[in-house]
A and B are shown apart, each in its own frame.
Chain A
């Protein structure tokens, strides 16, 4: 399909529309040639996908070279696009008719603005590094060629998703990335859990996709086109009834929750870690899972008006994000699998982005998406490197002390951790701070509080991960070793943006706002941008440092003085934490674990005397009076009797019907023809 699109774009027939919209930052400049060729971005990896499938096995490196060449090209093109965009170019808007269907045309086209270019850079950078990394990580894998083909297809689909100018084309990309995710999670499908995880991921996101589809159709009937810019225009200019917008926004949000792993559809993402680690870094951390965030950012007009975000009340979007970021961060504490910690962390960070969009902080959300992609990909690839060294386990209980064995992995992982935790001046600080600032300025107290608690928890569980993995003594088998260059060089490359990229929106520089903005032509709509707030920044930094301090206290210092002598207390603390998984107990037990302080004792007393008393009372009452009645009358006679009768009737009918199931195809055909003949006769008789 992509090939036909590209051909028609190449041909530039009469009906190809080349319109020069107003630029996001400076109006009425010519659109740059490089940006106009944005359709190359999905096309090149798509061609590479087919090339790898057909010729990959015969090539010396089994097709990896084709994938690398394609993704290298898209990376260069993305960098050129970024320079062109920053240098000042108009928004590119090109489309052509894919097919007409009587009353309306289905278009296919590209829309390149700041957001698109930013996604280009994110997708191609991470994809390129993952291509390189996988050379070593999947060396000798039995489906190596297939793996690279899937990576190429994924890159193509993701780029198609971000370059699309209409919802239908976006959905095509959306579903294709879902398929690639399915294929790659189940890459080692011989083991049952892996194929189960792939199915779970696919089916869970499909649940959300139903909503996305219905939302797109709703918008189509409301606006009369799938074109995203037209939809935004209509939404922001009161062209659509509010009820309809709210419906569409809720439906789209369902799709977003599925793809971007928002509560309560987040359950697939941790399981998706069954795939190869580079895949987790590319698909389940940096790119595909942010597709939902991208969709909200892209069709922000619908969400902004639909949820009345400017009115300042709490809305479904912000609430979803807020709940997700908190719940996922809490779950990250009880995981032993390093990738699952990172997965829950990803869910939590996606929650931040959605919450930011929910409070009207568009730039903050997109900026967090941008920075998060780099440091989270870095962390995942770091985890892969650790596993590569520590005999292919991801269990942190079998790691420890790796700092000495693999210094490069250790230092880059630390950079990723600090960036994620939000310590200035690393990348995560600036974007997370902007989200909190947006929540504060928009008067979303709940989100501000949830976000701050989330920041504390992020620092704390990442501290835990680092201490368990890299400090203490090695607990696994064999001797760990540093990974080879193909693995460590991508880590070091990713460490650079993790360190520095946040500075582009630091006070005094603040370029990101200019480069990437939500802009709809012909509509007066302006999202307020808030100035840097030193007080809030200080508080969020203190929160993050405090989180690290707690992690150090619990996971490092408790260990250092006596841990080497008696491991049991440490183990006990861990078991305690694992079992106290109740969300509201985590903070308490994390702090109280060492001291068993008055809070714990008080809680215990209340538990034993008050709650147990109530429970016992209810239990006794139930046992004496309610249970006999329920069992004898309701359950045995009414419910069981009903089901027995239904089953008996079904079985009898089944016995009759099975006689008709001869299994002989020709007898079925006879029935079919007889039925058609009878139907035809009836029709002839009636008309």
Chain B
């Protein structure tokens, strides 16, 4: 098993995630992209954890999953509130902080 395969997969996933966050207009899709990025990080953590024979990386991945779940909860609540206020889920219409 080569470590770099996993790292490559994680890097690709991460880039997809970044692309999604930056380019999607729909708030839910942006949240999903964030999840992809987090999971890319999880893959890295677990890959390294196996590589250096140290279990704490996997524990950390579990923590990330937990926090990600909480983050989605908060994120979706914010999305719903945005939708209620603007009647639109598109992030490029949320610009009331424009200077």
Residues of A within 8 A of B (CB): 657-666, 669-670, 673
Contacts and interface: CB of A to CB of B under 8 A. Distances in A.
A663 B91 contact: no
A651 to B, nearest CB: 13
A666 B22 contact: yes
Interface in B28-87: 30
B22 A670 contact: yes
A657 B99 contact: yes
Considering the complex of A and B, which 7 residue pairs feature the smallest CB-CB distances, nearest first?
A661-B99, A663-B98, A658-B99, A663-B95, A663-B97, A664-B95, A670-B22
A660 B98 CA distance: 9
B45 to A, nearest CB: 18
Contacts of B95: 662-664
A325 to B, nearest CB: 51
Interface of B: 18, 21-23, 30, 91-92, 94-99
A673 B23 CA distance: 13
Contact of B91 (A657, A658, A665): A665
B83 to A, nearest CB: 15
B94 A665 contact: yes
Contacts, number: 34
9 contacts: A661-B97, A663-B94, A664-B91, A664-B98, A666-B22, A666-B23, A666-B92, A669-B22, A673-B18
B87 to A, nearest CB: 18
Contacts of B21: 666, 669
Contacts of A657: 99
Contacts of B22: 666, 669-670, 673
Contacts of A670: 22
A659 B98 CA distance: 9
Contacts of A663: 94-99
Given A657-B99, A658-B99, A659-B99, A666 B91 contact: yes
A664 B30 CA distance: 13
A657 B95 CA distance: 16
A388 to B, nearest CB: 43
A660 B18 CA distance: 21
A596 to B, nearest CB: 66
B16 to A, nearest CB: 13
Given A661-B98, A666-B92, 7 more contacts: A659-B99, A662-B98, A664-B94, A666-B22, A666-B91, A669-B22, A670-B22
A665 B99 CA distance: 13
A673 B37 CA distance: 12
Contacts of B92: 664, 666
A663 B94 CA distance: 7
A659 B22 CA distance: 19
A84 B97 CA distance: 64
Contacts of A658: 99
B69 to A, nearest CB: 22
A665 B90 CA distance: 11
B82 to A, nearest CB: 11
A656 to B, nearest CB: 11
Contacts of A666: 21-23, 30, 91-92
B17 to A, nearest CB: 10
A359 to B, nearest CB: 55
A660 to B, nearest CB: 8
A662 B99 CA distance: 6
Contacts of B91: 664-666
Most B C-beta atoms less than 10 A away, residue of A657, A659, A660, A670: A670
B30 to A, nearest CB: 8
Contacts of B97: 661, 663
Contacts of A660: 99
A551 B91 CA distance: 71
B46 to A, nearest CB: 22
A657 B98 CA distance: 11
A286 B48 CA distance: 59
Contacts of B23: 666
Nearest to A673: B18
B70 to A, nearest CB: 20
A658 B97 CA distance: 10
A280 B21 CA distance: 53
A206 to B, nearest CB: 28
Contacts of B30: 666
Most B C-beta atoms less than 10 A away, residue of A658, A659, A661, A663: A663
Nearest to A664: B95
A669 B22 CA distance: 7
Contacts of B96: 663
Contacts of B98: 661-664
Most A C-beta atoms less than 10 A away, residue of B21, B94, B95, B99: B99
A670 to B, nearest CB: 5
A669 B27 CA distance: 14
B90 to A, nearest CB: 11
